Every structure is written in C-alpha cells, then in structure tokens.
Amino acid sequence: MSIMMRMSPVMSSTSPPSPLASPSPSSPPVLPVRSLPGSYGWPLLGPISDRLDYFWFQGPETFFRKRIDKYKSTVFRTNVPPSFPFFLNVNPNVVAVLDCKSFAHLFDLDLVEKKNVLVGDFMPSVKFTGDLRVGVYLDPSEPQHAKVKKFSMDILKRSSNIWVPELVSNLDTMWDTIESSLSSSSSASYIVPLQKFIFAFLSKCLLGADPSRDPKIAKSGYAMLDRWLALQILPTVNIGILQPLEEIFLHSFAYPFFLVSGDYKRLCQFVEKEGKEVLKRGQTEFGLSQQETIHNLLFILGFNAFGGFSVFLPSLVNAIASDKTGLQEKLRKEAREKGGSTLSFGSVKEMELVQSVVYETLRLEPPVPLQYARARKDFKLSSHNSVFDIKKGELLCGYQKLVMRDPKVFDDPESFKPDRFTKEKGVELLNYLYWSNGPQTGSPTESNKQCAAKDYVTLTASLFVAHLFRRECRLANTSYIFGTI
Ligand code: HEM
C-alpha cells in the first residue's frame, strides 16, 4: 500500500505533511473527535511516578510505548521530567504526540510557538549563554530570531567552499591518529579523536577559527564543550548509571553554571580572538550586538553542531558496523565507483546507498529525540485515527524515536533497512523524516524552526562514510576497523 493511501487524507507525496489540510472528496470519512486520554495524576505524586518510570523503571522508549498501549492512542496526556523536588518552576505536564501525523503539528507555527521550549518547560539558566536567550530559544514571532537564523544560514553558505576540503583534511588527521594508536595497541577508542575532529572541523568552518592557534583550546576545546553541554541537559537525559544514584545526583536539581564558567570564558575568548571576521559580520550585516554574536556563535558551534555530530556520527558508525548483510562491501563499492575522483557535495549526491544509510540512521536514532512546542491558541490536533482538542498554552511533546517507527508510514519500521530511502518510493519517504525539526524535504527559513544545517548535516555524514570507504589504508578494511574500535 502506498504512503499516500495510508496517510490520506492529510498528507500528500509531494508536499510536507500538512496535518490540517481539508479532506478531498475521495478522502475517507472525517476522523472522530476524542477526549485526550491519560492524566497528570496527583500533584507531586503523578510527576514523580512518571519521572521514575521514564528514567528508571521503564526508560523513555518503553515509557511512551506502554502508554500508547494503555490508552490505545498515540496522543495522550502525561508528565515528562524534570520535576520534583527542585524543579518547582517546571511544569512537567505535556500532551505526547507519537505518530507522524500528530507530530507534524510541531512544525506548524500558526498553531504552536517555540519560545523557550528547546528541552521542554525546563530551560537551562541563561548564564550558560552569556545571560542571553540565544536563537534556539526564540520563537519566529520574536524579531531577534530572524537575525540569528539568517546569520547562521549565512555562515553555512559562506563556508561552503571550505567545508569539504576542511572535512577531508580533518578526517585524514583523525583516521591517522586512530591508526597509529591501533599500531601500538590492539584496541583504541575512536570517541576522543572523533570529538577532536568534529571540534576542529566545525571551528574552522563556522568560526573561521583554527584551534591549533590556541594550544589550550586545541587540547581541550572539545572537552570544555562536553562539560558545558552536559551541565545544561543532565536533568533531562538518561545516562544509564546505577540507580538510584542517577535519580539523586543527576535528575533532581539543575547544575550551576559556575562549574564551567572558566571553560566558557576561555571559549568566548577563543571566538573573540580567532573568529574576528565572522564576529564582525554578525554585527555589521545582521544587526546583532557583539555579545549576541559571540554567545549565539558558541551555541551554534557547541550545542547545535558539535553536540549534534557527537551524537550522530557514533550512531552512524555503529549502524554500519553492526550490519551483517554485506552492507560494508556495498558501501565500499559505491563510494569508490561513484562520485568522481575528488569528494565534493556533488559526489555524494551520486551515492544513493550512502545517503540512504545516513537517512535510515537518522530515522532510527534521531540525535535530538525529543521536540516540544506550545499551543499558540486552541486548535484541533489529528492523529491517524482521531482528533483531539488542544488548549492554548498546552505543551506538546514528540518522542521522535517512536514517531519515526510509525507503521502507517514506514514498512517494517523496527528494522534497519539500508536502502529504505532509495528509489522513488524511498525519496517520497523523506517527507516523513523529521530529525531536523521539519521534514527532510522542507527548507529552513527565518520564519520556521527547522535546523539551519539540515542539508549540511546529511551531506557531511554522507561524506564521512564515503571518505572512510575510500581510504586506501589499513582502515579501509572496514571489518578490521569496525571490529576493533
Ligand atoms: C547532527 C547535527 C545536528 C543535529 C542533529 C541538529 C538538530 C537540530 C534540531 C532538532 C533543531 C531544532 C531544535 C528545536 O527547536 O526543537 C536544530 C536547530 C538548529 N540548528 Fe541544528 N542540528 C545539527 C547540526 C547543526 C549545525 C552544523 C548547525 C550550524 C549552523 C546547526 C544550526 C542550527 C540552528 C541555528 C538551529 C535553530 C533554528 C531556529 O532557531 O530556527 N545545526 N538543529
């Protein structure tokens, strides 16, 4: 059955999902209105019980799955952490949206707003971002959002001519490092070299700043960003350390900024000193103050870009490494036979399988698994089989890991199918790939909240794979590399 038929009447194969489009005459009957199932429970007890389920007894995926089964609905009320005891100003009540159709309402900015909801009702202290609300926390109705978004897209556009050469040379350095540690030891972790690579490559492309000009930053810049990131998001993520230690020490209170203030100051100095040109452009061309430019640049570099790739690239390596169906051989063949002799953005566009593996990894392991938005007004929200009344101010919460396994959209949704996004049918599925806070067929603009680097991310990841399978060295033997690191 085609996706068109399955998603009818609200989605078409040519346009991104539009949850509120009117049914055509041939559409199935209008969906029944249903009252929202689920409850927030008793004050304090409901949130704490849901928090313990979410982090400890069930884990996020089972937490949402069990409630879908219980309420026989992919849309329901529940609580999500953080909550009690030291998050008294955080309201954990959300409406979960867990199928492709209901999730797509998160992109409709006539219906929802995205002010301060990056990680839900909880917002890390603005001290982490220079006492400013940086771009990701701004709704497009706030004039400052357009300035920051246009600035971020301009940075990407201007760096496009150095993006691939920087990527390739930094990747060569990374694999050489891993290779030499392998020659002196039978195993090596690739995570530190990978993070150093991501940091150096992004600093050069986004800031025009070379970390090697500042020895402290070259050595520990990536670790400074890790610490700064971790302190902001710890109350909202599952680390997997022994319980109840994780609940007591990581999920019960927000960590204060002063623990990383030295690191952050050092990173600001690095941007100020080494990123002069981009800093000036933020002020002269986009009307940002010097402080707004510095802190937005650091957020884009550290949180969006470094944080995103640090989660995504290991998932990609794992996805390829754990395949037992001969995928590595197929990728090697495609990477070597297609795309010309020098890698470029254009060359990976010829590598259908490489790109599909990247998309499939983003589907099953979306690096930013939770997305939130607040109802701007009362409206009707549709799932595949019901319509629900949403009240102004309610917080919608989508857990992408389940949304991207919507059986009404993806055949055999739990399986990693490397070629899922190939051929015409696969390309049509890109309308429902939502990792970037919008469909893969959509475009980031100053009026929406889609990731500014939507295409850069998928092309960079494809280049990462192509480069790996082209390397004429010990590491090109991927069974060796994937079996070892
Ligand atoms: C694997 C890497 C990346 C992932 C997974 C990722 C993911 C995302 C997601 C999910 C959002 C939406 C957050 C929300 O509002 O709910 C977002 C926003 C954003 N991303 Fe990315 N991103 C990545 C890399 C990058 C890079 C390299 C840049 C560099 C420019 C970037 C710039 C931005 C910006 C500026 C926004 C805010 C958009 C807005 O406020 O309208 N991202 N990203």
Nearest CA to ligand 1 atom 7: 436
Nearest CA to ligand 1 atom 27: 305
Nearest CA to ligand 1 atom 21: 451
**What is this structure's pTM?**
0.93
Q: What angle do CA 198, 200, 202 make, to 5 degrees?
A: 65
CA of 323 to the centre of ligand 1 (A): 28
Nearest CA to ligand 1 atom 43: 451
CA of 444 to the centre of ligand 1 (A): 10
Percent of the chain with pLDDT over 70: 91
Determine if residue 213 is left, alpha or beta; phi over 0 gives left, psi from -120 to 50 gives alpha, anything else beta.
alpha
pLDDT at 240: 84
pLDDT at 5: 37
Exposure string for 154-174, b = 16+ CB within 10 A, e = fewer? bbbebbeeebbebbbebbeeb
Position in ligand 1 atom list of the atom nearest CA 368? 10
Position in ligand 1 atom list of the atom nearest CA 312? 1
pLDDT at 26: 53
Report the half-sphere exposure of 68 (CA within 13 A, side-chain side): 17
CA of 127 to the centre of ligand 1 (A): 21
Amino acid at 120: G
CA of 449 to the centre of ligand 1 (A): 9
CA of 452 to the centre of ligand 1 (A): 6
Nearest CA to ligand 1 atom 4: 308
Nearest CA to ligand 1 atom 5: 308
- Which residues of the chain have a pLDDT value below 50? 1-25, 473-480, 484-485
Position in ligand 1 atom list of the atom nearest CA 138? 40
Rounded distance between C-alpha atoms, residue 238 and residue 70, angstroms = 23
pLDDT at 25: 45
CA of 114 to the centre of ligand 1 (A): 14
pLDDT at 29: 64
Q: Are 6 and 24 in contact (CB under 8 A)?
A: no
Burial of residue 184 (CB within 10 Å: 0-12, 13-18, 19+) is exposed
Nearest CA to ligand 1 atom 19: 451
Q: Which of 304, 404, 460, 463 to mutate for ligand 1's pocket (most ligand atoms within 8 Å of CB)? A: 304
pLDDT at 27: 58
Identify the residue whose tokens are 């927030």: 40
| Residues with C-beta less than 6 Å from any ligand 1 atom | 114, 118, 135-136, 149, 152, 156, 300, 304-305, 308-309, 312, 367-368, 371, 435-437, 449, 451-453, 456-457
Cα-based torsion angle of the residue sequence 369, 119, 11, 16 in order, rounded to the nearest 10 degrees: -90
pLDDT at 472: 61
Nearest CA to ligand 1 atom 20: 451
- Residues within the annotated binding site for heme? 451
Identify the residue whose tokens are 């006492």: 131
Rounded distance between C-alpha atoms, residue 353 and residue 421, angstroms = 8
Position in ligand 1 atom list of the atom nearest CA 372? 16
Three-class secondary structure of residue 92 per DSSP: coil
Q: What is the per-residue pLDDT across 192-250, written as a single tens digit (0 to 9) for each?
A: 999 999 999 999 999 999 999 999 999 999 999 999 999 999 999 988 888 999 988 89
Q: Which of 103, 278, 288, 451 to mutate for ligand 1's pocket (most ligand atoms within 8 Å of CB)? A: 451
- Residues within the annotated binding site? 451
